[in-house]
Amino acid sequence: MENITVKGELLFELESKQEWVNRVPNILPDKTRAGEQWIWIDSNGNVFECGADFIAAEKAATYPCKVYKLQSVAVANER
């Protein structure tokens, strides 16, 4: 598997599956543009895609889950 690097803004962290159940979707920010993407990553750099991933991360002890808003090329070049 190849490692990649992307730019993003940290939105929040989750310490457990239960925190995901209790806090999401209430803590999700509004999207500022239609194509905006968020990525949910565990401490090993693996991506969360569904509820099974939150369970697996608990079993593997790979929390916290960090949630980032990815930076697009257009937004990067506005600065």
Tokens found for residue 76: 């990067």
pTM for the full predicted model: 0.89
Q: Which helix (H) or strand (E) holds 34?
A: none
Q: pLDDT for 60-71, tens place per residue?
A: 999 999 999 999
Tokens 């995901």 correspond to what residue? 20
Helix then strand count (H, E) for the chain reads 3, 3
Which tokens in the block code for residue 75? 């937004």
* Rounded Cα distance, 15 and 36, in Å: 24
Query: Which pLDDT score is estimated for 4?
Result: 92
Mean pLDDT across 22-48: 93
